[in-house]
Amino acid sequence: MHQLNQVIQEIKPLNENAILKTLNHLNQLTKPPGSLGRLEDLAKQISGISHETVPDLSKKAVVVMAADHGVCEEGISAFPQEVTPQMVYNFLNSGAAINVLARQANAEVFCVDIGVKGKLDHPNLIQKKVKPGTDNMAKQAAMSIDEALQAVLVGVEVVEELVEKGYKVVATGEMGIGNTTASAAILTALTSLEIEHAVGRGTGINDEMWKHKQNVVKSALEINQPNPKNALDVLAKVGGLEIAGLVGVILGAAKARIPVVIDGFISSAAALVAYKLCSTSVQFMIPSHLSQEHGHQFMLQEMGLTPMLHLDMRLGEGTGAALCFQLIDASLNIMSEMATFESAGVSGATEEEVE
C-alpha cells in the first residue's frame, strides 16, 4: 500500500483563490451572472485544479485501459471475450468510435494492455500487462491485493508519462468484455445498493441473461465477502484490471493537478473506488455523461457528481468523455474570448443584489 498511499497523500484540494478570481472574471463578461451554467462551473473547477484562470488544455489524452474478465465463463455478456483484443486492434488502427470522437476533439488515444488474455503486438500499444485477465470472481477473487495494487500503479505511471509529454487533461476509457459485471459488483459492494439496480444490460443482454447476471454478482459477493470499508479489497476481489488501471489514472491526475474526465459506467466504478480511497480526488473529476447502464446514476450520486451530457450512450471506450472535451474547450474559450461589460460598453445589472 506504501506507494499508493504516497500518491494519495499528495492529492490536495482545489485552490479557492483561483476559483474566486475566475468567478470574478465570469461576472464581468457580457452575460447575466451564472447564465452559462455548467460551463461556468467547469471554468471554476479547472482553475481551482490548475491554479490558473485560463489554463492551456489544448493537449488532451484519452487513456483506454483494456483487460479481460474470468467471469465471462459464466455467460454474462452478449459478446464473446475475443472482442476485447479485436477491439484493441481497432483502437490501434483508429477505426473505433473513440478514435473518431477523439479526433474531433483534437485529443489523442492511448491504448494500454493492462490485462488482455493472450499476446498482443502493435507498435502503438502500451504494454503493461499485469496478468492475462482476472480470475472468475464467481469462484474466487478476481485478483490478489498485490495485483490490484500493481494495476493501480500502472495507471498512475501512465498519467505521469503523459504529464511529462505535456498533456494537460485526461479522459478515462476502457475496453473489456464482462466489465459491466465487475462494475456492478463494485457498486453493490461499496454502496449496498440492491443488486437489481446495480446490474444492467451491458452490451445488450435479454431478460433471462440479466437475471443470471444478477445471480452471478450475488455469488461473487457471497464467495469473496469484499470489505465495503476497504475499496482496494473490493477492487481486488470483484473488480477488473482495467478498472484498477483507471483508479490509478484518476488518482494520478489528481496528484498531478490535471482534470480527469470520467466516461460511463465502468469508468465511474473506477472513480468510485478512487473516491473511497481518497475523497479529495472527486474535486478533479469531470463527469462527462450519464450512461444508459442503469446503475450509473447511483455511482455518480454516491460521489455527489452530476453528469454534463445525457445522450443515452452506453459504449464506453471514453466516448462520452471525448465529447465532454469540447465542453471544456467551450468553457475556456468563454473565459479568454468574451468581452467584458466595460470593454464592450454594455450596461451592467441595475440592482446590486442580482444573482
Ligand X SMILES: O=C(O)c1ccc[n+]([C@@H]2O[C@H](COP(=O)([O-])O)[C@@H](O)[C@H]2O)c1
Ligand Y SMILES: Cc1cc2nc[nH]c2cc1C
Q: Which strands, in side-by-side order, build the sheet including 260-262?
A: 126-127, 107-115, 60-67, 169-175, 260-262, 285-287
When binding is defined by CB under 6 A, the residue of 67, 174, 278, 295 that contacts ligand X is 174
x-or-dash pattern for ligand X, window 224-263, by CB under 6 A?
Answer: ---------------------------------------x
Helix 179-191 and helix 231-238, axial crossing angle in degrees, nearest 10: 150
What is the residue whose three cell numbers read 472574471? 25
Q: Active site includes 74?
A: no
Handedness of CA 23, 24, 25, 27 (dihedral sign): positive
What three-state secondary structure class fits 4? helix
CB of 325 closer than 8 Å to CB of 60: yes
Residues 316-355 binding ligand X (CB under 6 A) are: 316-317
Cα gap 122→118, rounded to integer Å: 13
Query: CB 54 → ligand X: shortest distance, Å?
Result: 31
x-or-dash pattern for ligand X, window 266-285, by CB under 6 A?
Answer: x-------------------
Segment near ligand X (CB under 6 A); pick from 115-123, 145-153, 161-169, 314-322: 314-322
Q: Which residue is nearest to ligand Y (CB)?
A: 79
Query: CB 203 → ligand Y: shortest distance, Å?
Result: 5
If binding is defined by CB under 6 A, does position 85 make contact with ligand X?
no
DSSP state of 311: -
Closer to ligand X by Cβ: residue 40 or 317: 317
Which entry of 160, 222, 317, 355 is annotated as an active-site residue? 317
Judged by beta carbon distances under 5 to 8 A according to partner kind, the member of ligand X, ligand Y, none in contact with residue 202 is: ligand X
CB of 74 closer than 8 Å to CB of 138: yes
Judged by beta carbon distances under 5 to 8 A according to partner kind, the member of ligand X, ligand Y, none in contact with residue 180 is: ligand X
C-alpha radius of gyration, the chain, whole number = 20
Cell of residue 191, nine digits: 454502496
If binding is defined by CB under 6 A, does position 180 make contact with ligand X?
yes
Q: Which residues are catalytic?
A: 317
Residues that bind ligand X (CB under 6 A): 77-79, 174-181, 202-203, 263-266, 291, 293, 314-317
